[in-house]
Amino acid sequence: MKIFLSEAVREIDNYTIENEPISSINLMERAALSLKDWFVRHYRVNRRVVVLAGPGNNGGDAMALARLLAVRQYRVECFLVSSSGKLSPDGKENLKRLKDTGLVTIRNLSDVQSLPALLEGDVVIDGLFGSGLTRPVEGLYLDVIRHVNDSAAEVVAVDIPSGLFGEDNTENDVHSVIQADFTLTFQFPFLSFFFSENEMFTGEWIVMDIGLHPDIIGKIETRYSMLTRGRIAGLLPERSRFAHKGVFGHALAVAGSSGMMGAALLTGKAALRSGAGLVTLHVPASGFRVVQTAFPEAIVSIDSDEHVFSVLNDLEKYTAVAVGPGLGNHDRSRLGLQKLLKNVNVPLVIDADALNMIAANRELLSYLPEGSILTPHPLEFDRLAGGSPDGWSRHLEQIAFSLKYRVTVVLKGANTSISFPDGSCVFNTTGNPGMATGGSGDVLTGIVLSLLAQRLSPENAAMAGVYLHGMAGDKAAEKYGEESMIAGDIIRCLGDAFRLVKSMPFLHEGRSGGVFQ
């Protein structure tokens, strides 16, 4: 699914109106019907509904929803908030339709004191502003937003929380944005929804298909998109009846050190569970018995050093390599990493302590093989690329890093983002907070390594690996609960994830803040 910038979304709306053909007021009605359907599934009719309608088309959407809810016997009050006293043409038409029902009390709001107290149990429909804002909200609108945010009412934002910009909010005033519990957005999520600093405004966001014209959606280029099940299903390799383990690649994981052998085991087990034909773990000599006992399916390559990774000479028999989980930060390991980066000629995944060693020894950046996959969490990425004050700034640094070094960067988070050497970026839609547990990143490294070993391209291996990792995490959360799941549970649920992706390839669905209808 594509993600568009705010200006492009308006272009898509206009094209739909001109070419479906459908009038703008009827497209607004279509959107309002989707809002109503969601609302009646989530709230009983005994809830008081307070609708805040602004001067633009976002207010028109809110008034159309108010009318549809009133007909369904909800107790609806509508407040028109316009400092100029003007409404958009479609806003005027929906105001007329709302008045014609005779079911809703409508008031023009001239000051915040005219708003009623908002109580626990009330539901506020936020229709003040859409995505067209370019500066922070002020005046009457700011007073209304603060009144809502200070209340105990639940808040449902129409399309985007009022005051939030569609993309860059670094210059925005956080006190001038509605704090919604739910955001019901149309056709596509806005880019700002994917950054952690905006979660307090969007709450859980839900994407509603309102039938915007597919021709223009396909025609407009965007460097942003979102991972969906159908997209991932098409990436996974088919297995021939006569295939053997040599067909599915030989994965090597350079991982572990004294006291950190669990990272190597998690990486290796995840790689084998994800379909690699053979998995070798290169570990310090002290880890030999650990691996042979805990992971009999693995091949063991023993380092000459007793406690840490120091050197790896034979790379010819492997189809993909991962380096980093549990390595520690030792001078011998740094030299071994440098040699590996200079000599590896198969796809490479770089994670964890390997990333930290590169960050601490920046000359190693010049040895990064083009096409490599880096899998940092935000702190590791900041060490590599320089500190970022917020998610948006880090996102821009991520894209710049991929462009500069010609690598794929998997920036882990609630909506893991994957940037590519061409400057494009995708966001993941699977996963849950239970995956914030030690070893979860090692599992991801193993999955991506396995898919690389099975000869997926770095771009496709990163996308499929991240999506499957999140889906396995979702299955683990269902089985064990978010609080109780551990990294090994994600590995145990990988089979469920693969089956689910392959069996239902065209269903849009996601967690981590977003749901698609």
pLDDT at 512: 39
Position 83 scores a pLDDT of 84
- Mapped onto helix, strand or coil, the DSSP state of residue 434 is helix
| Domains of the chain, earliest start first | 2-222 (3.40.50.10260), 229-236+249-516 (3.40.1190.20)
Q: What are phi and psi of 218, to 5 degrees?
A: -70, -30
Question: What's the confidence (pLDDT) of residue 511?
Answer: 37
| Contact (Cβ atoms closer than 8 angstroms) between residue 156 and residue 180 | yes
DSSP string, 261-327: HHHHHHHHHHHHHTT-SEEEEEE-GGGHHHHHHH-TTSEEEE-SSSSS-------TT-SEEEE-TT-
> Structure tokens of 271?
């790689």
Per-residue pLDDT, 504: 63
- In DSSP terms, which residues pair with 410 in a beta bridge? 418
Token reading at 453: 């070993």
Q: pLDDT truncated to tens, each residue of the chain (517 aa)?
A: 999 999 999 999 999 999 999 999 999 999 999 999 999 999 999 999 999 999 999 999 999 999 999 999 999 999 999 988 899 999 999 999 999 999 999 999 989 999 999 999 999 999 999 998 989 999 999 999 999 999 999 999 999 999 999 999 999 999 999 999 999 999 999 999 999 999 999 999 999 999 999 999 999 999 999 999 999 999 998 899 999 999 999 999 999 999 999 999 999 999 999 999 999 999 999 999 999 999 999 999 999 999 999 999 889 999 999 999 999 999 999 999 999 999 999 999 999 999 999 999 999 999 999 999 999 999 999 999 999 999 999 999 999 999 999 999 999 999 999 999 999 999 999 999 999 999 999 999 999 999 999 999 999 999 999 999 999 999 999 999 999 999 999 999 999 999 999 986 444 443 335 555 5
- For the four alpha carbons of 332, 333, 338 and 340, in that order, the dihedral sign comes to positive
Q: Is the peptide bond between 21 and the residue preceding it cis, with omega within 30 degrees of 0?
A: yes
Which is it for the CA torsion 75, 81, 86, 90, positive or negative?
negative
**332 pairs with which residues across the strands?**
none
Distance of CA 259 to the CA centre of its chain: 33
Strand partners, 280: 252, 299
pLDDT of residue 60: 98
**Max CA separation in the chain (angstroms):** 84
- Spatial neighbors of 471 by CB under 8 A, at least 6 apart, are 430, 431, 496, 497, 500, 501
Q: Exposed/middle/buried for 10, CB within 10 Å: 0-12, 13-18, 19+?
A: middle
Residue 250's CB: how many other CB atoms inside 10 A?
19
Query: What's the pTM value of the predicted model, to 2 decimals?
Result: 0.94
